[in-house]
Structure 1
Amino acid sequence: MADFMADPDLKDRFLNVLKGKAVDKVPALSVTQTGTLELMEKSGAAWPEANFNADKMADLALAAHKFAGLEAVRYPFCLTVLSEAMGCSINQGRRDVQPFPRTRPFAEDAENLELPSDLTDRGRIPLLVDVTSTLRKRVGEEVPLIAGIEGPASLASRLLGTYNFLTWVMKKPELIRRCLEVTGTACSEYSAVLSEAGADAVCIVDGIAGPDMLDPKHLASLIKPEYEHFYRVGKGMKLIHICGNSTSILKMLSECGFNGISIEEKVTDLPAAKKLIGKKVSLIGNLSSSGVLLTGTCEEVKNEAKKCLEGGIDILAPGCGIAPRTPLANLRALVDARDEFYNK
């Protein structure tokens, strides 16, 4: 039994958009992290505890839906769960800082990077499975659940070290290919257990794979095969978020099977972006998280949100992880803008 009432159309609307079907209005939600200081106060669940305690994580994840009106529950709030399970030591962060890896366990030993046979029993993966089951019970079947995970390139860069990863992509591509096969399989296995536990969508966040960091030709030769494999494994909707101006790789990403692609505000021409990805893939975003959402007024948020809607965005969402100090009123304004857009 759900512990609060929800719009019965939220999940159907979300899934239908991702299936390319017509909907009455664009969903307004986040596929990236949602923990903010105000939501921590309202929910009684704060970082760092809410990144490591199942009940607190569920409470804070629900808060963005209950108090801001975002039309999905997105969790967790960090991108370290797989990194930790694969061997990284994690700094737990603090109330306004997400956890982050402290070590690069395979920086000197990349040839021995292997997939643990007990991966899904390691670290916080069982905790995230519990959180997924808990959230499913608490929201019922009417609110979509979106789980976020590290992408294969980001995971490899944590395990090897970012400098090593970016250097070896050029100098040791076969080594990187083998490492990406391992991290890609890790992403797929983790995604599968989250889907089995009740997640409606899994969003891989792979910022280092974007053209701001990596030549698109390396994305095509080394990382794209892992995205294609990720799409084929397990059930549920598969989403990807890439940081920076991803315009030059949107077509390539659309060929991997993803149901939705999340973009930052640096992708400025939304009609052109939609043309690049075609009609089978939903475009998600792209309200500036570090700009208008964090520092703007409610009216400024609404104005920018309506520009996204006029540009043809399929799911209205922050263009990246929501900054912890983002005003709750601005998150509500994102949803209000969508409602005003359809009631004008």
Structure 2
Amino acid sequence: MSGYTAKERFIRSLEGKDVDKVPVCSVTQTGIVELMELTGAKWPQAHYDPEMMATLSIAGHEVIGLEAVRFPFCNTVIAETLGCIFNEGSIDTQPYQLDFPCKNKEDVENISIPADLAESRRVKIMLQAAEVIKNRISDDIPLIAGMIGPAAIAFYLSGANNYLRWCITEPEILKRLMKMGTEFCIEYSNLLFEKGVDAVVIIDSEAGPDLFPPPLFTELVLPEYHLLTAGMKGHKILHICGDATDILDGMADSGFEGLSIEERTDLSYAKSIVGDKACLIGNVSPAATLLSKSTEMIKKEAKQCIEDGVGILAPGCGIAPRTPVANIKAFVAARDEYYQEQ
């Protein structure tokens, strides 16, 4: 069980196979200001320039030691392609939404996937970035791409108020948006897989219990996940922020190989529910721990995650832009120290 490359270890973990040690990486956002200053690849330009996106993404591996390269740094690619409008953000602020196209249910009729998705502006940038990264990193390092999922797409397109209202009053409208979102994610994921991406992370926090009633998750979202995972031609991970406890059963049966959870979902309990159905990923807090605590406390919490049965050690959500490089290095070092101490 020894001598695995980072990619072999990552993929074996997703597939539920034995590894010499759990991988340590981030399946969520990795762009931090120190890396931007070091590389010259800064937000907001790095969201939209393939070369800068590649440079900043690779720095998470080459400078910090994360055992994967993950891109992009925002969740706006699909939403913008479908008509949402965003402010591009700043060096330490991600792009944020200014407007959405579905002001009323009649507007849903006007939303459609571009006929040539690979040539649409934001998707094309992502495909170009994937090619640049693949040319610059060893084939032994896994490449991870992220995108929002069906529920998040419906949320961005309809706006928060409509989303929360329609899930009760007009569930068929949300179902239509989610179904279109599923089709988009399948096509987009497979374009990325063709460019050499090893795993795609579907970020769908708007499907979680913090916003969406668990019975409606089962009724509206879970069928889309089954279609999505069946259509994706590569390794697939689901990330849901917040406390996902009430939908762990559904997540485990969704077809995703990896389930990324944040610290509000108890890892030991999640392991008891998920078992061997999927690889649990997480769940050290990016804000309360990685951003704010001492390196000693970061190591302690990371080691506890391994002890509690995590399959891939990772931040529970996107790394905060002002997180010190030294803190993430301590997080990475904790994995090796854990096995040396056994």
- Which TM bucket (shorter chain)? over 0.9
Partner of 1:117: 115
> Deviation at 1:179?
1.3
1:80 is the counterpart of 2:76: yes
1:93 is the counterpart of 2:76: no
Partner of 1:331: 328
Unaligned runs of 5+ in 2: none
User: Does the Cα contact within 8 Å between 1:8 and 1:142 map onto a contact in 2?
Assistant: no
Q: For residues 8 and 16 of structure 1, what CA distance do their matches in structure 2 show?
A: 9
User: Does the Cα contact within 8 Å between 1:10 and 1:144 map onto a contact in 2?
Assistant: yes
Question: What amino acid sits opposite 1:214 in the alignment?
Answer: F
Partner of 2:208: 210
Runs of 4+ deviating beyond 4 Å: none
Question: What amino acid sits opposite 2:293 in the alignment?
Answer: G
Mapping for residues 191-340 of structure 1, pairs under 5 Å: 191-268=189-266, 270-340=267-337
- TM-score under structure 2 length normalisation: 0.96
Q: For residues 162 and 111 of structure 1, what CA distance do their matches in structure 2 show?
A: 19
> Deviation at 1:208?
1.1
1:146 is the counterpart of 2:144: yes
Question: What amino acid sits opposite 1:303 in the alignment?
Answer: K
Deviations 1:151-180 (A, max 9, x none): 111111111111101110110011111111
3-state SS, counterpart of residue 343 of structure 1: helix
> Deviation at 1:232?
1.1
Deviations 1:107-157 (A, max 9, x none): 231233333322332121011001111111111311000101011111111
Question: What amino acid sits opposite 2:37 in the alignment?
Answer: E
User: Does the Cα contact within 8 Å between 2:34 and 2:325 map onto a contact in 1?
Assistant: yes
User: Does the Cα contact within 8 Å between 1:111 and 1:175 map onto a contact in 2?
Assistant: no
Deviations 1:267-297 (A, max 9, x none): 12x2321121120310000000111100111
Provide the identity percentage: 46
3-state SS, counterpart of residue 237 of structure 2: strand
3-state SS, counterpart of residue 31 of structure 1: coil
User: Does the Cα contact within 8 Å between 1:241 and 1:262 map onto a contact in 2?
Assistant: yes
Partner of 1:158: 156
RMSD: 1.2
Aligned length: 337
1:33 is the counterpart of 2:29: yes
3-state SS, counterpart of residue 23 of structure 1: coil
Q: For residues 83 and 118 of structure 2, what CA distance do their matches in structure 1 show?
A: 13
Q: For residues 227 and 297 of structure 2, what CA distance do their matches in structure 1 show?
A: 40
Q: For residues 85 and 111 of structure 2, what CA distance do their matches in structure 1 show?
A: 16
Question: What amino acid sits opposite 1:239 in the alignment?
Answer: I
1:343 is the counterpart of 2:334: no
Question: What amino acid sits opposite 1:47 in the alignment?
Answer: W
User: Does the Cα contact within 8 Å between 1:298 and 1:330 map onto a contact in 2?
Assistant: yes
Mapping for residues 121-132 of structure 1, pairs under 5 Å: 121-132=119-130
Please identify, of 317-326 and 220-229, the stretch whose mean Cα deviation from structure 2 is larger.
220-229
User: Does the Cα contact within 8 Å between 1:207 and 1:242 map onto a contact in 2?
Assistant: yes
Please identify, of 228-237 and 194-203, the stretch whose mean Cα deviation from structure 2 is larger.
228-237
Q: For residues 109 and 116 of structure 2, what CA distance do their matches in structure 1 show?
A: 20
User: Does the Cα contact within 8 Å between 1:96 and 1:324 map onto a contact in 2?
Assistant: yes
Please identify, of 227-236 and 59-68, the stretch whose mean Cα deviation from structure 2 is larger.
227-236
Q: For residues 288 and 94 of structure 1, what CA distance do their matches in structure 2 show?
A: 23
> Deviation at 1:8?
6.5
1:61 is the counterpart of 2:57: yes
> Deviation at 1:247?
1.2
User: Does the Cα contact within 8 Å between 1:11 and 1:143 map onto a contact in 2?
Assistant: yes
Unaligned runs of 5+ in 1: 1-6
> Deviation at 1:263?
0.4
Q: For residues 25 and 280 of structure 1, what CA distance do their matches in structure 2 show?
A: 19
Mapping for residues 11-30 of structure 1, pairs under 5 Å: 11-30=7-26
User: Does the Cα contact within 8 Å between 1:19 and 1:280 map onto a contact in 2?
Assistant: no
